[in-house]
A = this chain, B = another copy of it.
Amino acid sequence: MTFFASKWVDRPGHVTELAPTALPEGFVAGAVAAGIKPDGQDVGLLFSEREHTTSAVRFTSNALVAAPVTVARDETDQAALRAVTVNSGNANVSDGDRGLRTARAQQQAAAEALDLEPAQVAVASTGVIARELPRDKAVAGIRHAAESLGPNAQAFSEAILTTDNGPKRACLELALPSGDTVRLAGQAKGGGMISPRFATMLCFVQTDAALAPQTVDLLTGVCVKRSFDRISVDGQLSTNDAVFVLANGASGVQVEPESPDELAVGEAMDALLRQLALEMVADGEGASRVGRVVVRGGVDSVGPVARAVANSPLVKTALAGADPNFGRILQAVGQGLAGRAAFDIDLAVDGLPVVKGGAMVELDYPDDWVKVEASFAADEVEFDLRVPGEGGEAEVFFSDLTHEYVTINADYTT
């Protein structure tokens, strides 16, 4: 079974899949059960053994950020991280100064265990919010995790999970145009509080290519915009979202800016992050299927319309019910364009036109209906919309809204 399971992501031709828990050269990871969650591993540590490691990070845009985000964003050298420590079970949000001191204690503990400066260590947390994160457990967990480091990401990728149904991870080998070979790996989590913009998600990416700091930052920015920035489970922007990309050069392969090799690394990272993002949506809390909405039209219209469709609970429940209720898509489009006069839109479902000029197409019975119903019942369904105007295009991947979402979220802290 390929990692690239979505119909919307192709494995690039120069990419080979390794064991999904493998790591690039010079990276080690580990995890332990520290007692923050009722059971299971909940503290993880990721470490680049190479001194000359470059890095890039991206964080949530929520005005309320978790203490670890504050520390990772404001109290590290974002371009030269060597390690990240992460805990699940508690997101360390809204605990004031005490929460900040706990995040700094985590950073300090990891730095001491790995013989680094604190500014070389980022911190990430995920789990219940507005509860005190037990500092002693978190710090003790980091010390133990440091003793468990090894050249694979199995425990690490599992310790970061919360309501996820399973780990999201891959390790790829890239045959570069220059003839060199490098590795690229990623481990992610995210199932709820997944937002229009990136998500209640954490993602850790490693490569043993040598990349200039500007190159890591550029690739990270472009790839995050096309992946975690384009997914929605419940439209909720998290307080803890973070992406960390580390490049340590352990392969001995230097990838130069604007070279064919850089393009090949970028293509692979794009496919990796898009597939990880799609796994978050498919594993969205209670999700049973994934929709992709692609909107073409006016530059100012396409974004709001794509978000309005992807976040509509009426569209999401129709998808859950495998119910080809186009009207709800049109209603959401109209809401995305609220206050504007024009309503001349086209809609196609998996390529079959069902609305033209704002009015329903008379579908052939029964053939077209069979097709449409099959689309709504499939694991992945695509909605192509054209709205007035030219020059803009936006996509969002979204999950459906099921009973299971309500079950998970109506009883999460208790």
Tell whether, in the assembled complex, residue A237 and residue B193 are in contact, meaning their CB atoms are under 8 Å apart: no
- A225 CB, nearest partner CB in chain B, Å: 16
Least CB distance, A97 to chain B, in whole angstroms: 8
Q: Does A234 have its Cβ within 8 Å of any Cβ on chain B?
A: yes
Contact status B64-A96, CB under 8 Å: no
Q: How close is A346's CB to chain B, nearest CB, in angstroms?
A: 12
Partner of A355, one of B94, B359, B410: B94
Identify A129's interface contact among B97, B99, B327, B342, CB under 8 A.
B327
Interface residue from B62, B94, B321 paired with A358 (Cβ < 8 Å):
B94
Say whether A343 faces chain B, with CB atoms less than 8 Å apart: yes
Within 8 A of B (CB), among A175-190: none
Q: List, in ascending order, chain B residues with CB within 8 A of A330's CB.
A: 64, 93-94, 129-130, 239
A61→B337 CA distance, assembly (Å): 9
Q: Please indicate the chain B residues that have their CB under 8 angstroms from the CB of A193 in the complex.
A: 314, 331
Stretch in contact with the other chain, from A10-18, A104-112, A212-220, A398-406: A398-406
Copies of this chain in its oligomeric complex: 2
A313–B236 alpha-carbon span in the complex (Å)? 8
CB-CB under 8 A from A95, the residues of chain B are 359-360
Verify B321–A411 contact, CB threshold 8 A.
yes
Query: Which residues of A (331-380) have their CB < 8 Å from a CB of B?
Result: 331-343, 355, 357-360
Q: Is the CB of B318 within 8 A of A64?
A: no
Instruction: Determine chain A's interface SS by DSSP, over half rule.
Output: loop
A195 interfacial contact with B, CB 8 Å: yes
Contact of A312 (CB < 8 Å), options: B236, B312, B359, B410: B236
Task: Specify which of B195, B320, B334, B340 is in contact with A406 (CB 8 Å cutoff).
Answer: B320
Contact B326 A63 (CB under 8 A): no
CB nearest to A91 among chain B residues: B327
How far is the CB of A325 from the nearest CB of chain B, in Å? Answer: 5
With a CB–CB cut-off of 8 A, which chain B residues contact A89? none
- In the complex, what residue of chain B is closest to A328 when comparing beta carbons? B129
Q: Answer yes or no: A191 CB below 8 A from chain B CBs.
A: no
Is A131 part of the contact surface with B, judged by Cβ < 8 Å? yes
- Which partner residue on chain B sits nearest A355 by CB separation? B94
**A318, B63: Cβ atoms under 8 Å?**
no
The verdict on A63 contacting B339 (CB below 8 Å), with A94-B330, A331-B238, A402-B410 known, is yes
Cα–Cα distance between A330 and B340 once the two chains are bound (Å): 32
Who on chain B is nearest to A404 by CB? B406
Pair B94/A327 contact, Cβ less than 8 Å: yes
Instruction: Give me the 5 closest cross-chain CB pairs, A-B, nearest first.
Output: A64-B334, A130-B327, A96-B359, A321-B410, A129-B327
The interface of chain A, by Cβ under 8 A from chain B, is: 61-65, 91, 93-97, 99, 128-131, 192-193, 195, 197, 234-239, 311-314, 317-318, 320-321, 323, 325-328, 330-343, 355, 357-360, 401-403, 405-407, 409-414
